[in-house]
Chain A
């Protein structure tokens, strides 16, 4: 039951992703061809709003509902940020989906994206398998 709130937040997130059309393969093509401001506007204003929200939480010293101090997950730098980032970018442009939109595309009725999802799980698995042999 404690996970229902995350299911619900995910539903909200999914509804917004579809309504923003950021799950559209067409919109991703348009973005990378620099032919529309839409995607840049969505991502830019999302970052800006999130930043303000986090700042407010810090300034006010708010805690999470279970009374814990809110911790920021650290993102240490590795060469993977660059190499993995480039690899993901290639895939993003092909599928028109980062991981969130993969789930939203499936929910939107493009059920064949289940294959994309399974292949993404396979990609993650192969990374885990080869991790120690890759530059980091």
Chain B
């Protein structure tokens, strides 16, 4: 029970995540990949007359069940195995984020940024609208995300996935170190 309540170290969680790749192969001949679900949702709900969304998304519906499962699994942790303690971060990270205006460090996410009160503000425009748009646009343009490229693609020895992963990291480094601090100081301080 204690193990279920506390956060898991990388050497426990990482291999468990990795095992999902062969597991999906064995139970259904499926390739781990999550960003495709966003395409299926477009194809199902708002296909317009766009050729990219004209396909039988129902054939790929396993993927929607899978992402629904992810949300459910997270809710199970929240309901039954929630430890309610802050993330054990490097103090340097906390100090730097505090200097950029983050105030709440007691949950998985900074509650002062990720709350409904911010939806119609500059903070919401950056963290929800802009960030989400870049994730959806970028992953589809890159033909995959962290799961489909960085885990499944590299594990199946496909070099384009390694290229994509290097670019994910480069974009993340640039945003975190050179762009986001300025935006946060402007919006949060």
Do A and B pair up? The answer is yes
A residues near B, CB below 8 A?
3-33, 35-54, 56-57, 62, 64-66, 68, 70-78, 80-100, 102-113, 115-129, 131, 134
* Residues B111-142 near A (CB distance < 8 A): 113-116, 118-119, 124, 126-142
Chain B contributes a number of interface residues (CB within 8 A of A) equal to 128
Question: Binding site of A, secondary structure by majority: helix, strand, loop or mixed?
Answer: helix
Shortest CB distance B169–A (Å): 6
Determine whether B189 belongs to the interface, using a CB cutoff of 8 Å to chain A.
Answer: no
Residue of A whose beta carbon sits closest to that of B75 = A107
* A126–B137 CB distance below 8 A: yes
Q: A45-B11, A93-B173 are in contact. List 9 more A-B contacts (CB 8 A).
A: A32-B169, A84-B140, A95-B132, A103-B71, A106-B71, A107-B72, A116-B132, A123-B136, A124-B140
Please list the residues of chain B having a beta carbon within 8 angstroms of any beta carbon in chain A. Answer: 4, 7-11, 13-35, 37-39, 41-42, 46, 48, 50, 52-53, 61-63, 65-78, 81, 87, 89-90, 92-93, 96-97, 105, 108-110, 113-116, 118-119, 124, 126-161, 163-177, 179-180
Q: Are A102 and B22 in contact (CB under 8 A)?
A: no
Q: What residues of chain B lie closer than 8 Å to A16, measured between beta carbons?
A: 8, 13, 16-17, 20, 73
Of B4, B77, B154, which is within 8 A of A108 by CB? B77
The interface residues of chain B lying within 8 Å CB-to-CB of A122 are 132-133, 136
Which residues of A sit under 8 angstroms from B128, Cβ to Cβ?
A: 95, 112-113, 115-116, 119
